[in-house]
Structure 1
Amino acid sequence: MNTQAAPSARYSRGAVILHWLIAVLIVLNFVFAFMAEDKPREEALAIMANHKAIGILILLFTVLRVVWRLTHRPPAPLADLKPWELALSRVVHFLLYLFMLAVPLGGWATHSAWSGGQPVNLFGLIDWPGLPFAASKTLGETFGEMHEVGAFSMAALVVLHIAGALKHRIVDRNPDTLRRISIGA
């Protein structure tokens, strides 16, 4: 059920805030994952604790974003899009949503399999329950590999998403492309 009668020229304020909040959290989580790579164990565990907490936030905000998207009509596609651009845009957006759900779920499953279902501590504030898995190195490694492959696949989609936006703004000289999703406009 859509709450707006007709699409506007811009995404709703809620959609814009969730878009940029999730984007910043995803970038931050990549930074934390790379930072932890060559650190001593205790330091890496502390960094990864933040990575896990942010991953849960990404999952929650993405679920909220999907609900928002289902209840708030987005703006109509730009009129100057070629059919193949519109089709590619729809596929990329769908896959981005899929990976924004699957990657944090994979990370949560990885943590749960390694820890035997222990909760994820969210910044010392609350414990997010672990998934009900018995401790399993094999399952943890499997979920971990899926999580990593999913994360890099999502990164490739993000690059494609940004490239598309920049192509429309710079090559096609369409200022509406970025204006529709900007915070201050």
Structure 2
Amino acid sequence: MPLHNTAQRFGSATRALHWLTALLILGAIPLGMIANGMAYDTSEALAQKAQLFSLHKTLGVAAFAVALLRILWAFGQTHPAPLHPDRRIETRLAAAIHWLLYISLLAVPLSGWVHHAATSGFAPILWPPFLGLGQDLPLVPKSESIAQIAAALHWVFTKLLIAAILLHIIGALKHHVIDKDATLRRMLSGATAPDVPSTGKAQLLPIVAAFLIYAIGAGIAISLTSTARQAPPTAPQITQTGGNWQVQSGTLAITVQQLGSAVTGQFAAWQAEIRFDEAAPVQDMGSVTVTIDTTSLSLGSVSDQAKGPDFLNTATHANAIFTARISGADIGADTGTYTATGTLSLAGAEIPLSLPFTLQITGDTAIMQGQTTLDRRDANIGQKYPDEASVGFSVGINVALTALRTTP
């Protein structure tokens, strides 16, 4: 069987790429639908949901690569002439559907890939080990706003892809059953069709129509997210509650392991009452009370789950409070190393917690960075997930802030 196309038949390369693309797409679509509808109320259910989503994403990325290769190959090949060039409307409609398919085969997996890269953690793409690839995309930052837009585009584009596939199948069956011509057999078995007059160069109207349909779809998707999108704050929402240091900017981040992947998020709203005297004895240099609005947590694609009743239960426990005394390092506070030792009130539990941190004070400006970990089981968080295969026990806490000294 010849590798290249002719005016009467498709070559073996075109046919192989066509059916491989179809296999990948027709595998990815139902996997995504099933996974999207699955519950995740137990660790086993979450693991199954994530596995299906991982397969869905992996097949989608593979479909993108194969479709791109197929399209590039098609541009360098002779396209077999339509068997009924006299049917102008039908021929143009078929061409428009083909262009709609070409765009869909790239736009659908790419929009899903961008959504995956803009968020973090849930259901990784299963790259072959020898590729050594990660989960991110160049030029795609971690952004809830970008993730929302990409998710909306993916949802709309998937509907266009399904519509194009159905129309493509209906057209092929119409040729095979009603017209009884070789249109379908050319792609199935490489059959040679009768010699027909060529229609010449590709018509512009079907191409414009396909891109116009996608432009309308993109506009609809973006409009669906325009009212819901809000850029995450770059600084905490702070209320002055006393103390002699006022936080000016900073982040309060957490990192959890989900299905073996690290997921990092932030609390957008928290306040800190800090009393600190660098000249005081290292055994007792001050105190800190941090009040965290747990409803402000953004944790990638699992934000809602993290704030739900199985985890932080923010509907009942809208705040977490860390109260601690500050002491210097055993070898002296001159090293800039300190510890805040106290209690964290979280999800109805009281947890002993120590936060080691470094502090650089220049005049009346202090820059602080601290890291610690806690065990979610100490706060009875995620009791339906009793093993670390689904959700890790350890939760990393990372604090960074800049504060100004105020008049007591």
2:186 corresponds to which residue?
Answer: 180
Deviation at 1:128, TM superposition (A): 5.2
Q: Is the 8 A contact 2:11 2:190 kept in 1?
A: no
Check if 1:29 corresponds to 2:34. no
TM-score normalised to structure 2 length: 0.41
Check if 1:73 corresponds to 2:94. no
Q: Which has the higher helix share?
A: 1
Check if 1:113 corresponds to 2:112. no
1:48 corresponds to which residue?
Answer: 53
Could you tell me which of 143, 167, 175 is aligned with 1:168? 175
1:130 is matched by which residue type in structure 2?
A: D
Residue by residue over 1:75-128, the C-alpha shift from the partner in whole angstroms, topping out at 9 and shown as x without a partner, is: 111136510011001111011000100011101101011129xx8332555425
Number of residue pairs aligned between Structure 1 and Structure 2: 179
Residue by residue over 1:1-48, the C-alpha shift from the partner in whole angstroms, topping out at 9 and shown as x without a partner, is: xx96x8342111111111111111111001211221214222211111
Segments of 5+ residues of structure 1 without an aligned counterpart are: none
2:63 corresponds to which residue?
Answer: 58
Deviation at 1:146, TM superposition (A): 0.8
Residue by residue over 1:142-178, the C-alpha shift from the partner in whole angstroms, topping out at 9 and shown as x without a partner, is: 211110110111000100011111111112222x011
Tell me how far apart the structure 2 counterparts of residues 120 and 111 of structure 1 sit (CA, whole Å): 9
Residues 106 and 112 (structure 1), Cα distance of their counterparts in 2 relative to 1, 3 Å cut: same
Check if 1:9 corresponds to 2:14. no
Tell me how far apart the structure 2 counterparts of residues 107 and 162 of structure 1 sit (CA, whole Å): 24
Q: Is the 8 A contact 2:10 2:190 kept in 1?
A: no
Q: Is the 8 A contact 2:9 2:190 kept in 1?
A: no
Q: Is the 8 A contact 1:53 1:123 kept in 2?
A: no
1:115 is matched by which residue type in structure 2?
A: S
SS in 2 for 1:151: helix
Tell me how far apart the structure 2 counterparts of residues 29 and 100 of structure 1 sit (CA, whole Å): 12
Q: Is the 8 A contact 2:12 2:190 kept in 1?
A: no
2:336 corresponds to which residue?
Answer: none
Q: Is the 8 A contact 1:17 1:183 kept in 2?
A: no
Tell me how far apart the structure 2 counterparts of residues 48 and 124 of structure 1 sit (CA, whole Å): 19
2:150 is matched by which residue type in structure 1?
A: F
Residues 13 and 128 (structure 1), Cα distance of their counterparts in 2 relative to 1, 3 Å cut: farther
Residues 10 and 115 (structure 1), Cα distance of their counterparts in 2 relative to 1, 3 Å cut: same
Residues 81 and 46 (structure 1), Cα distance of their counterparts in 2 relative to 1, 3 Å cut: farther
SS in 2 for 1:10: coil
1:27 is matched by which residue type in structure 2?
A: L
2:242 corresponds to which residue?
Answer: none
Deviates more, 1:163-172 or 1:102-111: 163-172
Residues 39 and 15 (structure 1), Cα distance of their counterparts in 2 relative to 1, 3 Å cut: farther
SS in 2 for 1:180: helix
Q: Is the 8 A contact 1:13 1:183 kept in 2?
A: no
Tell me how far apart the structure 2 counterparts of residues 122 and 149 of structure 1 sit (CA, whole Å): 26
Q: Is the 8 A contact 1:110 1:141 kept in 2?
A: yes
Could you tell me which of 161, 164, 167 is aligned with 1:154? 161
Tell me how far apart the structure 2 counterparts of residues 140 and 92 of structure 1 sit (CA, whole Å): 29
Q: Is the 8 A contact 1:96 1:157 kept in 2?
A: yes
Tell me how far apart the structure 2 counterparts of residues 69 and 18 of structure 1 sit (CA, whole Å): 10
Deviation at 1:136, TM superposition (A): 2.1
Q: Which has the higher contact order (CA 8 A, sep 6+)?
A: 1
2:241 corresponds to which residue?
Answer: none
2:155 is matched by which residue type in structure 1?
A: E
Tell me how far apart the structure 1 counterparts of residues 129 and 190 of structure 2 sit (CA, whole Å): 33
Tell me how far apart the structure 2 counterparts of residues 178 and 158 of structure 1 sit (CA, whole Å): 14
Tell me how far apart the structure 1 counterparts of residues 142 and 21 of structure 2 sit (CA, whole Å): 30
Segments of 5+ residues of structure 2 without an aligned counterpart are: 41-45, 192-408
CA radius of gyration, larger in: 2
Deviates more, 1:36-45 or 1:24-33: 36-45
Tell me how far apart the structure 1 counterparts of residues 152 and 15 of structure 2 sit (CA, whole Å): 32
Residues 172 and 82 (structure 1), Cα distance of their counterparts in 2 relative to 1, 3 Å cut: same
